[in-house]
Structure 1
Amino acid sequence: MRFAGLSARAWGTAVVLLVIALLAPLFLLDRFNTIQFAYVWALAIALIGLNVLTGYSGQISLGNGAFMAIGAYTTAILYFKLKVPYGLTILPAGLIAGLAGYLFGFPALKLSGLYLALATFALALSASPVIKNFDALTNGHEGIVLPTITDPFGFGLTNEQWLYYLALVIAVLMFVFARAMLGGATGRALRAVRDSETAAAASGISLSQFKTMAFGVSAFYAGIAGSLYATITAYVSPDSFDLPLSLSLLVGMVLGGLATLAGPVVGAAFVVWLPIFAQQAFHNKPDISYGVILVLLMFLLPQGIVGGVRQLLAWYRRRSSDGEPTAEAADLGPAAPPHAAERGTGGS
């Protein structure tokens, strides 16, 4: 029995995981780990958006950190300089970043493959210098220090717990929205564009409409994530949104699994926790060990962690039954065909 595209077992698993996530800050996590998981939820939002663009529509982006910067600075300026309550800055941050992404998508229509990757790479490189040049608005190199966020409802939560729950609730809402969008006609159109632009155009799908929409949606998610990032850190600066952030987003998306919705959550956890693990386990060479671990993971799990889990479940099902696909594997999200991103980046 399935509801909203998920089996009863998948719904049960999702409910259990959500309950654990809700209880973890109260009983399992200390203050440091609580705030790190708040970062995980924020980055998961950005990775869901990037997966819409790259995993589902096949357009490679190395510049989504720039859209996170737009969202973060929108919240910082509205909250700190204009005294708008921070909760009311999150949606405008996403909308402004989404508009920027949508507009960027129009010139990007003329680019594909490596050229599109280079254009978004240039976008990532330019984000920090542009922020520094508008110092009257952004405080330039110094950045903007935000007031500490506290529990506004008097629930007795620490600052870290409140930020954790804020990020978690928004991440769940963004996940549900993405699943609804990708599970319908829009998702089918995006996958058609990814798999073959020629066939998609022949079937009546507007390449320009869906490719620019994918850029806009991806940037909207990045803007929401950037807003949460600013709220969690209580500080934004140009150096927070330089090239390494955009590359980390790409690594997290690929590591979690292309064209899956569970993948961004897993990928975000690795992006946040893997450097911490490398620092603690390899005190002298954390950067080298971090790179080695990433390379090993990509060799061992070429379809990402979620793709690897899906393959393991399918193998287990074949061994224990007549070889029918598992509901669990299907519920992890549609698999990206090999080299989907490369094949789907042809020009329009």
Structure 2
Amino acid sequence: MTGKDGLSPSLVETVAGFTAGIVSTLCLHPLDLIKIRLQVDRLSSSRVGGSVSVVRRIFQNEGGLPAFYRGLAPNIIGNSTSWALYFLCYGNIKTAMRTWSDDRTLTSVDYFLASGSAGMLTSILTNPVWVIKTRMLSTGSRSPGAYASFTTGAREILRAEGIPGFYRGLLPALFGVSHGALQFMAYEQLKLYRSRMPLANTSNCASETHGASGSFQSGIREIGNMDLFVISSLSKLFAGCVTYPYQVLRSRLQTYDAHLVYSGVRDAISQIWASEGMTGFYKGLGPNLLRVLPSTWVTFLVYENTRACLPQLLSSLR
């Protein structure tokens, strides 16, 4: 199935998601590195200002500013492919739901199920990349046994741990699918709510397709970039506050020595609770919020604008 411009919706969704993943990663990789260093720290307590000491230690001991971009390759590969796959699956699942239900308006439950299904598929396919990324970001390049590159990491895991090594942390990652499901449920419903508010004129090309169903009909408010900015922030904060502990569990289980420290998810939960308390499950939340909010803004603005403008751009080049 193709649109009136000759492009299939799946291709547009994939390119938009891929582009959004690359741009957001390039902008915010250092914050991701700091967040993971805090998440895998089993010794120090969670405290305000902990990020500052991590930044100072990385800068002084690991080679200055370039050290903050260690692991950039797997992060770009992981984020770009994840968003491309996610938006591709998410868009196709929503289309299938509308087809099965005679184009009725999707409900919150529909968005939750579509997002959750897309998230599970994406998590299973991309988990090997996240294992390598977590290990590279959790250690400096000068640390003993640290992976020198993405390909080196892949070879080492295959040699030492076999295929199962690439799927460490998959269970909490699948739990984390609820994060994306909650975020997209809130995102779509907030877009729908905003579109039903009193009409206002907007002129950017992104507003042409920013409806909850992918297109606007006459009499429905157009969603502009400022609307997307606010809506994506609210939906991310909602999902992030509810589901953040799974990220700590996933990071702990994907480190180099995880198999020596934890016997599984239940053991990791028990050890964190016993030695660090509830705050242990929220380590790195500060830099995570500093990272995910700009990342969310960049991702959704780039995604929505790419999805809206790509068909026009390609048409003008023909």
**TM-score for the superposition, normalised by structure 1:** 0.30
